[in-house]
Amino acid sequence: MEFVEWTEKYSTGNALVDAYHHIFFQMVQEFSLTLKDEDAPPMQERIAFLVDYTFMHFDSEERMMERANYPEFEEHCAAHVRFKEQVKAIQQEYLAHPDAVKAEEVLSLVQDWFAHHILGEDMRYKPWVETH
């Protein structure tokens, strides 16, 4: 899979949010590169970490938007909720049928979603958080 590297085009104007996004892409890359490494943590733990990290980032970003009184806060949170449901569903599916879930596909789906979300929805609050 093609890895997304964090570059300036992903900058939201908020240092904490940017740090989360940056680490997120690095984490996907690192998980993917160590998939066949027998000493690496088992897939179940990686998925759990990915889910937790996603939730943690959304919480932090939502608090930031709330503090800035971002007018599209509700819509943005709704997009986060939909994705949280999606990653939770993947996690459940993995727990029920580990062989049915392909790690590479999960990582690539999650990475694509984030890249699009940052460049789309996250960028929409940029001018707002810069001035509020």
Is residue 111 within 8 A of residue 8, CB to CB? The reply is: no
- Per CB under 5 A, does 122 bind Fe ion? yes
Q: Which is nearer to Fe ion, 18 or 93 (CB)?
A: 18
What is the pattern of x (binds Fe ion, CB under 5 A) and - over residues 55-84? ------x-----------------------
How far is Cα 21 from Cα 7, in angstroms, rounded to an integer? 10
Angle at 75 between CA 69 and CA 132, to 5 degrees: 20
Q: How far is the CB of 2 from Fe ion (least distance, A)?
A: 20
Cβ contacts of 27 within 8 Å, gap of 6 or more:
49, 50, 53
- Of 63-71, 91-99, 101-109, 117-125, the window that binds Fe ion (rule: CB under 5 A) is 117-125
Q: How far is the CB of 1 from Fe ion (least distance, A)?
A: 20
Amino acid at 109: L
Q: How far is the CB of 130 from Fe ion (least distance, A)?
A: 16
Q: Which is nearer to Fe ion, 102 or 132 (CB)?
A: 132
C-alpha dihedral sign at 103, 47, 6, 65: positive
Q: Which is nearer to Fe ion, 47 or 122 (CB)?
A: 122
Helices 15-33 and 103-117, interaxial angle, to 10°? 160
Q: How far is the CB of 95 from Fe ion (least distance, A)?
A: 26
